[in-house]
Amino acid sequence: MQDNLTWWRGGVIYQIYPRSFMDANGDGIGDLAGITEKLDYVASLGVDGIWLSPFFTSPMLDFGYDVSDYRDVDPMFGTLDDFKALLARAHELGLKVMIDQVISHSSDQHPWFQESRQDLSNAKADWFVWADPRPDGTPPNNWLSIFGGSAWTFDSRRRQYYLHNFLVEQPDLNFHNPEVRKAQLDNMRFWLELGVDGFRLDTVNFYFHDAELRDNPPVPAGEAKTLGAPDANPYTWQRHVYDLSRPENLDFLKDLRALMDEFPGTTTVGEIGDDNPLERMAEYTDGGDKLHMAYGFDLLNAPHSASYIREVIERFQRLAGDAWPCWALSNHDVERSATRWGEGEDPVAYPKAALAMVLSLRGSVCLYQGEELGLPEAEVPFERIQDPYGKVLWPEFKGRDGCRTPMPWTDAPRAGFTAEAVEPWLPVDERHRPLAVERQQDDPDSVLNATRRLLAFRQAHPALVDGALSLVDVGEDLLGFIREAGDERLLCVFNLTGETLSTTLPQPGTPLQGHGFASALDGDTLTLPAYQAAYLQLDR
């Protein structure tokens, strides 16, 4: 167990997407009161804390990632008092509370941008990224928006373009301006003083842009596109050298860490979308003076073979130094892992094995709501699509709605998420109803109860929480590594395939119980049936 100041190091954080977790007021949209109502369930899983996706005042064009007031709650989700009640109840239950911070860009409805766009001489004129057109009137450079098209939009009042890495309605703030940096740190101080335990930092490597506005180079023919975006998106056709991950970002992260250090026990986890995500993760978290944790998209994409996971671990170990990762298999931006990784695999056994694997890696873990139920990606018909990303790239990319549908609490038509007479903001997938919390609660073999066992097992073994990790050779199709802390040395082996596989132990060990998986040890030969894990205490 970690102490209260370093709870995050090896902690497990449960991500809640407020729109889809629980609707307490019966309007078809989840809210803060609904989250508070279900915190006992979250605590029963055995996680250390929660991360709330944005609930701030917003026009909701990107579902809260377009903030128009950084210090208030959107009426859709409740009030600031509702948040304070949520915070108090979570702390009563021993849960830490982390909240999203979307500081690289705001909504175009934010008062800062409303003032900035008026002319070139107002007090906020330099608070956003403005640039003159080229002589022919075209945008200043070739930068692209993740959501499609140019990252620049012309504003007739200033007769300039403004930068938006995402929606047109999400202008990028100019972090080269020290007033902007101070204002965003002050906004975060507001929430820290309310008592939050940390921040998940959206697009943490997007804060600074190249001051010279140089063009990004293309991805050379035949080279892999590594950003966490679909291939159908031209955004992946560039090497993102100048529009993100600029060196100036490191100094700002140090200023942010200094703020966090004023509030002992708080933490940060940064989202990194980059051409070299593991390198950036290591750079942003090493030295103990920047981010506490960071995550990339290496386990949030399609490959899931043992050799691929082994390569990710090897690369991070080679780069990491004292950096600390936060691993996740699912979140609100990617297809659910039970489909993305588990398509064609056993729908109950595979999610258990995948969870065992990620919960055994060195680092912290984010567990996305519904992942503990083994939910597959939901099917959302085109006419119900809400995500602007999906609308632009349909049908090659259907957007992110399929991982954001309502949490199934019961097997009723509305899944216990909202009143039966109310149509939820996204439809309930019929395949989710049999997987509801109510249906899995009393089934010892359910994914839900397997998750609880795994979390309890993790907490009972210090080596799994904060121990060192060294890979071992257990064959091409199995993944194996040793976790070690103090006197405890554990061999962890995972079979993510539908076949029975065997391996020779690298050294003698005694199988551990309490994790819920089956394996057989005959001499030094370990045999794992399909979708199983083995944990052995190694002899000294």
| Judgement on whether residues 395 and 418 belong to the same structural domain of the protein | yes
For the chain, what is the domain count? 2
Each residue of 216-258: pLDDT tens digit?
999 998 887 766 677 778 999 999 999 999 999 999 999 999 9
Dihedral sign for Cα atoms in the order 310, 312, 313, 314: positive
> Of 368, 392, 377, whose CA–CA distance to 148 is shortest?
392
With tokens 């407020």, the residue in question is: 18
Q: Is the residue at 450 inside a domain? A: yes
Q: Is the residue at 411 inside a domain? A: yes
> At residue 291, does pLDDT exceed 70?
yes
Q: Is the residue at 196 inside a domain? A: yes
| Judgement on whether residues 437 and 520 belong to the same structural domain of the protein | no
Q: What is the mean pLDDT of the chain?
A: 95
Q: For the beta carbon of residue 449, count every other beta carbon within 10 angstroms.
A: 17
> At residue 24, does pLDDT exceed 90?
yes
| Judgement on whether residues 93 and 28 belong to the same structural domain of the protein | yes
Per the annotation, the verdict on 223 as an active-site residue is no
Range list of β-strands (E), 84-142: 96-101, 130-131
With tokens 């007769």, the residue in question is: 159
Residue 322: what pLDDT?
Answer: 85
Amino acid at 66: D
Per the annotation, the verdict on 81 as an active-site residue is no
Dihedral sign for Cα atoms in the order 408, 409, 412, 417: negative
Which residues, in sequence order, are CB contacts of 200 under 8 Å at separation 6+? 51, 98, 99, 100, 101, 268, 269, 270, 271
> At residue 2, does pLDDT exceed 60?
no
Q: Is 511 helix (H, G, I), strand (E, B) or coil?
A: strand
* Domain boundary residue, one of 433, 455, 477: 455
* Domain boundary residue, one of 455, 474, 496: 455
> At residue 3, does pLDDT exceed 70?
no
CA 23 to mean position of chain CA atoms: 22
The rounded percent of the chain whose pLDDT value lies above 70 is: 97
Q: Residue 1 to residues 137, 409, 457: CA-CA distances in angstroms?
A: 60, 30, 12
| Judgement on whether residues 524 and 500 belong to the same structural domain of the protein | yes
> At residue 1, does pLDDT exceed 60?
no
| Judgement on whether residues 317 and 440 belong to the same structural domain of the protein | yes
CATH of the domain at 516: 2.60.40.1180
Q: Which of 25-29, 36-40, 386-390 has the lowest mean pLDDT?
A: 386-390
Q: Is the residue at 280 inside a domain? A: yes
Each residue of 433-491: pLDDT tens digit?
999 999 999 999 999 999 999 999 999 999 999 999 999 999 999 999 999 999 999 99
What is the pLDDT averaged over residues 192-214?
98
Which is the catalytic residue, given 202, 279, 372, 377?
202
Interatomic CA distance for residues 162 and 143, integer angstroms: 12
Alpha helices in 48-201 (DSSP H): 80-92, 111-116, 178-194
Which is the catalytic residue, given 132, 186, 231, 262?
262
Structural domain range at position 474: 466-538
Q: For the beta carbon of residue 168, count every other beta carbon within 10 angstroms.
A: 17
* Domain boundary residue, one of 431, 455, 479: 455
| Judgement on whether residues 190 and 290 belong to the same structural domain of the protein | yes
> Of 437, 443, 409, 415, whose CA–CA distance to 428 is shortest?
415
Rounded to two decimals, the pTM is 0.96
Interatomic CA distance for residues 417 and 27, integer angstroms: 10
| Judgement on whether residues 308 and 390 belong to the same structural domain of the protein | yes
Dihedral sign for Cα atoms in the order 46, 47, 49, 51: negative
Q: Is the residue at 111 inside a domain? A: no
| Judgement on whether residues 227 and 348 belong to the same structural domain of the protein | yes
CATH of the domain at 293: 3.20.20.80
pLDDT band for position 391 (cuts 50, 70, 90): low
Q: Is 350 helix (H, G, I), strand (E, B) or coil?
A: helix
Residue 321: what pLDDT?
Answer: 80
> At residue 171, does pLDDT exceed 50?
yes
> At residue 5, does pLDDT exceed 50?
yes
Q: Is 478 helix (H, G, I), strand (E, B) or coil?
A: coil
With tokens 């996706």, the residue in question is: 53
Please check whether residue 402 is in contact with residue 336, taking contact to mean a CB–CB distance below 8 angstroms: yes
Residue 417: what pLDDT?
Answer: 98
| Judgement on whether residues 482 and 371 belong to the same structural domain of the protein | no
State phi, psi for 409 to the nearest 5 degrees: -90, -35
Residue 160: what pLDDT?
Answer: 98
pLDDT band for position 390 (cuts 50, 70, 90): low
| Judgement on whether residues 440 and 494 belong to the same structural domain of the protein | no
> At residue 504, does pLDDT exceed 50?
yes
Amino acid at 157: R
| Judgement on whether residues 364 and 307 belong to the same structural domain of the protein | yes
What is the pLDDT averaged over residues 190-205?
98
Region class of 280: left (phi > 0), else alpha (psi between -120 and 50), else beta: alpha
Q: Is the residue at 493 inside a domain? A: yes
What is the pLDDT averaged over residues 76-95?
98
Residue 387: what pLDDT?
Answer: 86
| Judgement on whether residues 229 and 312 belong to the same structural domain of the protein | yes
> At residue 375, does pLDDT exceed 70?
yes
Q: Is the residue at 396 inside a domain? A: yes
> At residue 141, does pLDDT exceed 60?
yes
Interatomic CA distance for residues 539 and 482, integer angstroms: 12
Interatomic CA distance for residues 352 and 516, integer angstroms: 9
Q: Is the residue at 53 inside a domain? A: yes
